[in-house]
Structures are given as C-alpha cells and as structure tokens.
Amino acid sequence: MASVSISSAQTTVAPSENLNHKMSLVILTSLFFMWGFITCLNDILIPHLKGVFSLNYTQAMLIQFCFFSAYFIMSMPSAWLIKKIGYKMGIVSGLVVAGIGCLMFYPAAGMQSYPMFLASLFVLASGITCLQVSANPYVTALGEKKTASSRLILTQAFNSLGTTVAPFFGGLLILSGVAIGVEELSLMSFADQAQHRLQEAQAVQMPYVGLAIALFALAAIFIWLKLPNIETIEGTEETSTATKSAWAFPHLTLGALSIFVYVGAEVSIGSFLINFLGEDNILALPEAEAAHYIAYYWGGAMVGRFIGAVLTRHIAANKILAFNSIMSVLLILTAMFTNGYVAMVAILAVGLCNSIMFPTIFSLGVADLGKATSQGSGILCLAIVGGALIPLLQGVLADSIGIQAGFVLPALCYCFIAFYGFKGALIRKD
C-alpha cells in the first residue's frame, strides 16, 4: 500500500506562515481531550442503555463492539484518505463525521431503537478513527525522534483528562435521572413503564447534541489554522525501506497485537467498573454513584502519563511498558480474589499502569518504518478493534462465570504486553 512518509527523523516546515511545533502540539491536545471524553462516555452508556433496553452483559457490550469495530473497518480507508487530502484535512474530516455521529443520537433516542444507537456509535467512532490516524503520527513527527514517545505520552495525558472529566458529565446528565429500581418499575402500568423508558432514552439527546456542536466548532477552527506541513527529506537511510510494506517489520506487527490486547483490556475494565462496584461483595453502589469512581480509573491514567512523559526521557520506554504490564496483572489478580475496598482500589489502580501503554506501544511500533510510517499508523489504529472484541468476550464470561472472575481475560492481555516490552519491541529483523 502506498503511504505518506512522516518519519520524525527528518522534517521540513514552511517557516513563516505556519504555526511552530510547540503551538501546534498545544492545539492538537484539544483533539486528544475530545476523543478521550467521547470514548469514556461509552462506560456511562453501557449501564444506562442496559437498563433502558433490558439487556444482558453480552448485549450491552455491543456498544463497545460497534464503537471499536469502526477502527478495524475505517483505519485503512482513513490512511488512504489522509494520503489524498493531507493530515490537516484528515483531522477536519474526522471531526465532521464524529459530529454527525453525535447528532444521530437524537433520533435514536426518540425512536427508542438500540440498533440505531449502535449505528450512531459506529459513525461517531469512524470520525474518531480518522482523527487518530491523523493526529498520532503527526505528534510523533513534530520534533526529534528520540523524544517521540515523550511527546505522544504528554498529548495522551490530555486524552486521559477527557476520560477523567467524562464520568462526572455523564453521571450528572445521563445517569442522574435513573432513580427507579426494577421492583418499582414492575409495579407501574405498561404505559407508565413505556413513558419512563422513553425519558431514560432521551436523557442522552442533549449531551450528544452539545458534543456535536463542539466537534463542528473544532472542525471550523482547524480549517482556519495553518498547521506545519510535515514532509520527509528522503535520505539513504530511508531508501532501503521505501518499497517495504509496514507488515514486513516484526516490531510493528507485534505492536499491533499489543495495541489490540491493550485497548481490549483497558476498555473491558472500564466497561464493567460500574457493574463491578455494584456487586454485593464489592461496594453495592448505585449506578450514578459508581459512575464517579470511573474518573479515578481514567484519572490515574492521566497522572501516569504526565509522570511517564518525564520518565521516558531517562528510562527506555520498552522497560517502563514491561514493568507497568506486570503491575497490571498483579492488581487484576488482587481484584479477582479479594472483596470490598481492596478489590475496588486494585482495579482502579490499573488505570495508573495503563497510562503510558498506548502511546508507548504506538511510538515503538512506528519507529524506523520510514516511508511505511503512514501505513503502520493505519495498522496500529486498525488494531484498536481489540476494544470491540475483547469486551464482548468478557461480557460472555460475565454472563457465565460472573464479573469478578471474568477479569482473567484482561490479565492475560497484559501478559502479552509485558512480552512486547521485554522482547517484541526490540525485534528489527524481517
């Protein structure tokens, strides 16, 4: 596949008319914040729509399946589109498509149609996919190659800021109105039940309309901005990789598998947090209150990314990745075999360990790809489909063996990431 070369080793920028690298990074962080905010709202939608449509865990996980399957379906088309229209217009296109997906929530709620909600999520995620394929490699190219991991971790920290704020937003505007229990609902007449479910469904309308307005406003701003044009100066070092496919690089393919299991594990844990904290042997929290604790999970990732942005300047990124993966496994096992506050703290602390994983795996995966960098970025974003499949599988486990025991799946995922950190990221022979 033809690719756009954006190797961070050598770049040229039009000097006078474009924004400098630092200002460009500041502006790009708004994108990371926005897609983190939107993605985390899925953790609020899952218990909310589970109640509205009386779903089991497997059916409720279709929310994450439809959202993250867009990454698998749309990543390579997005990479092709960016090759044709450039990274800046790729960002604008992603913002517009994501805004359209948000607007689709309004008719989905009015129709009380779960399939329509799922379709809306797919369109929304398609726009975010285009944003990811555009913005992630853009950030790695805005500066020196040796600090690429640090830059991407720093911008991803603002992604985590979005995921930290979103649970409060969603809990207040979406879950706060859900105050009727199953027994009380059963005492209502059929007409009153239907009216109550309609009100619950409509609780998502205005929040997502507001998000659509914000996304369209960002698209207008990015059309007006003059971001640096990143072009590679072809040298003899890159010539040997000019005709290679990104699939020819083992560290990229293993990185894609690591992204697959990482996103799947992270999303699975976040998706089940509200229900996990509602278990009788944990804290038996109501949904609206449990939603606030999601902020600690994603907030830990935010804090860890600020720390990681500093540490990766002094410690090899692959070593930090391996260490955090092992800690994640130990924390999940603690959550599986304990109860109460100990189990809660352990599972929330996994968020801190997650902090540097995505940006570190991404930067390690696209390293030394030369002219295959754009294709490699598309492949890594394609692997985010793990967020669709692994939560669905964990939903099956939760229905069969329970939520707590089902966390064995993300534990296994982190074991593979530890392997990538110790060895897989260092393989360079094809």
Residue 11 lies in a domain: no
pLDDT at 339 over 80: yes
pLDDT at 4 over 70: no
Residue 322 lies in a domain: yes
Q: Which residues pair with 12 in a beta bridge?
A: 231
Residue 1 lies in a domain: no
pLDDT at 2 over 50: no
Comparing 9-13, 88-92, 173-177, 226-230, the range with the smallest average pLDDT is 9-13
Report for 68-82, 237-251, 265-279: range of highest mean pLDDT = 265-279
Residue 350 lies in a domain: yes
User: Two tokens at 409?
Assistant: 């799946």
User: Two tokens at 333?
Assistant: 């096992």
pLDDT at 144 over 90: no
Residue 245 lies in a domain: yes
Residue 264: the pLDDT is 95
pLDDT at 9 over 50: no
Residue 62: the pLDDT is 94
pLDDT at 17 over 60: no
Residue 15 lies in a domain: no
Q: How far is C-alpha 87 from the chain's CA centre?
A: 20
pLDDT at 182 over 50: no
pLDDT at 15 over 50: no
pLDDT at 416 over 90: yes
CA distances, 191 to each of 48, 181, 204 (Å): 20, 17, 21
Q: For the residues of 212-256, what is the DSSP string, one character each?
A: HHHHHHHHHHHHH--PPPPB----HHHHTTTT--GGG-HHHHHHH
pLDDT > 70 in the chain, percent? 83
pLDDT at 240 over 80: no
pLDDT at 397 over 70: yes
DSSP state of 274: H
Handedness of CA 319, 424, 66, 60 (dihedral sign): negative
> Which of residues 354 and 21 earns the better pLDDT score?
354
pLDDT tens column, 282-334: 999 988 888 889 889 988 888 888 888 788 778 888 999 999 999 999 999 99
Distance between CA atoms of 167 and 245, rounded to whole angstroms?
40
Average pLDDT score over residue span 144-158: 73
Residue 373: the pLDDT is 76
pLDDT tens column, 361-390: 988 998 888 778 767 877 887 888 899 999
Distance between CA atoms of 200 and 186, rounded to whole angstroms?
16
pTM here?
0.78
Residue 413 lies in a domain: yes
Confidence at 236, pLDDT banded by 50, 70, 90: very low
Residue 305: the pLDDT is 81
Average pLDDT score over residue span 166-191: 63
State the CB neighbour count (10 A cutoff) for residue 115: 11
Residue 242: the pLDDT is 47
pLDDT at 31 over 50: yes
Comparing 75-84, 254-263, 404-413, the range with the smallest average pLDDT is 75-84
Total domains in the chain come to 1
- What CATH number should be reported for the domain holding residue 26? 1.20.1250.20
Greatest CA separation found in the chain? 76
Comparing 5-9, 252-256, 276-280, the range with the smallest average pLDDT is 5-9
Residue 197: the pLDDT is 63
Mean residue pLDDT of the chain comes to: 82
Residue 14 lies in a domain: no
User: Two tokens at 398?
Assistant: 């939760």
Comparing 152-161, 203-212, 255-264, 320-329, the range with the smallest average pLDDT is 152-161
Residue 237: the pLDDT is 39
pLDDT tens column, 155-178: 877 888 888 888 888 877 776 554
pLDDT tens column, 264-288: 999 999 999 999 999 999 999 988 8
Average pLDDT score over residue span 92-104: 95
Comparing 40-44, 195-199, 252-256, the range with the smallest average pLDDT is 195-199
Residue 195: the pLDDT is 62
Average pLDDT score over residue span 214-225: 90
Q: How far is C-alpha 249 from the chain's CA centre?
A: 24
Question: Domain residues for 177?
Answer: 21-231+240-426
